[in-house]
Amino acid sequence: MTAIDTVRVAKYCIMLSNPNNKLMSLQARTADALLSRVRLDKKIVATLGLDPEKLPLEDNCIYKGSDFARASAAVSSISEPRTFEALANEPTPFIELRRARLKYSEIGLTFNNVETRMRTPARINYYSLAIPLSGSQLIITESGKVRTKPPFARLSSAGSVYDIWRSANYVAIVASLSAAGFERFVGDKIDFLIPPEKSFSLMLDLSGEQFSVFASILGALCKALGERGCESPQRDTVITRLEEAMWFAFADACPELYREYKQARRTGPVSAVARRVTSYIEDNVHRDLTLTDLVEVSGMSARTLYSSFSRAHGIGPMAYLKRVKLCRCREDLLAASPEGEYVGDIAANWGFYHLSSFARDYRREFGELPSESLKRGD
């Protein structure tokens, strides 16, 4: 019996001594028994500097058990909605989800013992890096099917709709970056940040030398999050610095990310009319522009304008105007003094008068509330 097995047996004895913890102990025994059969890929585990006999984020479990509907509800309650579905009945399906929320991102771990399908009901607004430690996943997109297994990882952009098939005994670390985080860590390489309407994904070999710094920091972050006593990691200086260093290292190691982003922002050829209306919106965004104004600038009908603009940007001109306003509002929030200015005043300056709707739209675009952006202002 290894030292890890000894610790597990001791934990079971303690839990079994308390009759109120019988269900919890049964779940823990089931999880450990299943995980003991999983063989993590040695190469990717070594690259990340993890313990090959212990999965990270042990103290960040949000669900473990056989009820996949409850697992879906658990992760959807703290992140964007998604569903899990067991595709086999034998052996008894089991899923475990661990997740830690940080300032700009979420670091999670997922394990399923049977083939599982994971889907999102709508496009997601974060960048997600899935790093398999065991097993494989098949991502189905409009362009086809792509299978990922260690040491390769898959980066999916904001704007993606997930339909992923995961093999039995699948274990992966998932690092998700919010739009606000994308802006912070990649924004200096991109002129104008608007979440892409056209999704994209990248296959990355994390065992490559260019990812060595990123991988080592991610492993250190997983270990730090697993340390007992770190009850509020998002406020802990060490955790925050590791999170920032990790994403900066990733941006440096993955120039394909912002190249793909720039291409994904445009879904079709840009006509002279669409270019003229786009420039007009960005130059006059401070005004209370209407569709009639944009139609007059374009010199065509509203329907033709919408068609031409959608081919260029993936959205209509009024939706584009709203996004530009949100981006400008965000710039003001980040530049404002938290003590001297209010979210409502800054929002009103850009034509957002209903604060609840504004907060919802803002969070959808940037992954954080406007009040959180203001607190980070200078």
- Domain spanning 272-375, CATH architecture: Orthogonal Bundle (1.10)
Higher pLDDT, 259 or 117: 117
Identity at 370, one-letter amino acid code: P
Instruction: Give the CA distances from residue 159 to residues 22, 103, 129, 348, in Å, rounded to whole numbers and listed in that order.
Output: 43, 21, 14, 28
End-to-end Cα separation, the chain, in angstroms: 55
Q: What angle do CA 290, 267, 291 make, to 5 degrees?
A: 10
Query: Average of pLDDT values for 290-306?
Result: 87
Q: Would you give the DSSP letter of residue 4?
A: H
Peptide bond into 151 cis (omega under 30): yes
CB contact at 8 A, 224 and 161 = no
pLDDT beyond 80 at 356 = yes
* Residue of 167, 109, 105 whose CA lies nearest to 136: 167
For the chain, give the mean pLDDT.
Answer: 82
Task: Show the tokens assigned to 15.
Answer: 């839990």
**Is the alpha carbon torsion for 191, 192, 196, 197 positive or negative?**
negative
Between CA 368 and CA 103 the distance in angstroms is 9
Average pLDDT estimate for 194-220: 86
* pLDDT in the model for residue 31: 57
Instruction: Tell me which of 273 and 149 has the higher pLDDT.
Output: 149
Q: State how far the alpha carbon of 4 is from the alpha carbons of 17, 48, 227, 250, 302, in Å.
A: 20, 20, 16, 33, 67
Q: Tell me: the pLDDT tens digits for 309-325?
A: 877 777 788 888 888 89
Is 178 within 8 Å of 367 (Cβ atoms)?
Answer: yes
Cα-based distances in Å from 351 to 17, 50, 159, 299: 61, 49, 26, 26
Integer Cα distance of 222 and 173 in angstroms = 9
Q: What is the CATH number of domain 38-264?
A: 2.60.120.280
The strand pairing partners of 131, in sequence order, are 173
H-helix or E-strand spanning residue 111: strand 105-112
Is the separation of the CB atoms in 243 and 103 below 8 Å?
yes
Distance between CA atoms of 361 and 287, rounded to whole angstroms?
Answer: 20
pLDDT > 80? residue 97? yes
- Quote the crossing angle between the two packed helices 317-335 and 272-283, to the nearest 10°: 30
Token duo for residue 47: 């690259």
Rounded to 5 degrees, φ, ψ at 288 are -85, 75
Statement: residue 198 has pLDDT above 80: no
Whether the Cβ atoms of residue 125 and residue 179 lie closer than 8 Å to each other: yes
Amino acid (1-letter code) at residue 232: S
Q: In which residue are the tokens 């898959």 written?
A: 154
Q: How many residues does the chain have?
A: 378
- What is the tens place of the pLDDT at every residue in 270-280? 678 888 888 89
Give the pLDDT confidence of 169-189 residue by residue, as tens digits: 999 999 999 877 887 888 766
CB atoms within 10 A of CB 222: 24
Model pTM above 0.85 = no
Q: Is 95 helix (H, G, I), strand (E, B) or coil?
A: strand
What residues contact 310, with CB distance under 8 A and at least 6 apart?
Answer: 267, 316
In this predicted structure, which of 71-75, 142-146, 255-259 has the lowest mean pLDDT? 142-146
Domains in the chain: boundaries: 1-36, 38-264, 272-375
Question: CATH topology of 38-264 equal to that of 272-375?
Answer: no
Q: Contact, 323 vs 194, CB < 8 A? A: yes
Mean pLDDT of 56-80: 91
CA separation, residue 153 to residues 56, 310, 326, 337 (Å)? 17, 32, 32, 40
